[in-house]
Amino acid sequence: MSSDERRTTMTRTDSRVTIHMAASLDGFIARKDGRVDWLETSDEFAGGETMDPESIAAFLKTIDCYVMGSRTYETALSFEARGFGWSYGDKPTFVLTRRDLPRTRETVEFYSGDLAQFVTGRLRPSFGSIWFVGGGVVSGDCLRLGLADEVRYSILPILIGDGIPFFEKLDRDVALHLAEVKAYKSGTIGLRYEVRHRLDGDQSLSAPGEDG
């Protein structure tokens, strides 16, 4: 990071990095072959909350930009090609890739390289609410590098047995604080955890067995 970037980074203290994904109860975000057909479930939980379209739209407005891995981007493109639309509105969407992928809209920007430098030097100075929307590889890296402030985990009422895990292997424990739990009429549970940052240099990570 250049000294200019470091100075700018230090001027913005209100930025927040959120990881958000939906997963099966057994912790998978997609089948092994990448299919997410199981995201459409038919459960009904009596007394569960519903979210009306206006409050969803108001909530989405609070997100300033999205970050995703290339495989998640490819899924988003295939959804769009099948007529399901683009889930990220007109918000800047940063796609991590080392490949030359099609760019279908002006809001999409590609990045390749050091994720920590990208988040602290480029995203945090410019955006308040930064949402990592998958997949497992990128979310795992984000946590491993101590870049996330918050994890939002939507658990769907289904078991799929095998697939791509919510987080790719972490080599350490990450201590969390449960901040919110919501149960929806659809049978989905929404969990919001804050990452417990430590005061020493290594931020959120603690070695196994360590009380951090």
Ligand X SMILES: NC(=O)c1ccc[n+]([C@@H]2O[C@H](COP(=O)([O-])OP(=O)(O)OC[C@H]3O[C@@H](n4cnc5c(N)ncnc54)[C@H](OP(=O)(O)O)[C@@H]3O)[C@@H](O)[C@H]2O)c1
The residue from 17, 19, 65, 138 that contacts ligand X (CB under 6 A) is: 138
The residue among 78, 131, 130, 84 whose CA lies nearest residue 104 is: 78
Q: Is 34 in the site for ligand X (CB under 6 A)?
A: yes
Alpha helices in the chain (DSSP H): 3-11, 53-61, 70-81, 115-117, 124-126, 136-144
Cβ at position 26, least distance to ligand X in Å: 13
Upstream peptide bond of 140 is cis (omega within 30 degrees of 0)? no
Q: Which of 133, 142, 148, 151 lies at the binding interface for ligand X (CB under 6 A)? A: 133
Token reading at 65: 């930009």
Residue nearest to ligand X (CB): 135
Residue 108 binds to ligand X (criterion: CB under 6 A): no
**φ and ψ at residue 59, rounded to 5 degrees:** -65, -45
Give least dist CB 163 to ligand X, A: 9
C-alpha span between 131 and 125 (Å, rounded): 14
Q: Among the candidate windows 5-13, 50-58, 66-74, 144-152, which touches ligand X by CB under 6 A?
A: 66-74
* 163 touching ligand X, by CB under 6 A: no
Contacts with ligand X, residue ranges (CB under 6 A):
21-23, 29-30, 34, 36, 68-72, 75, 96-99, 112-113, 115, 133-138, 164
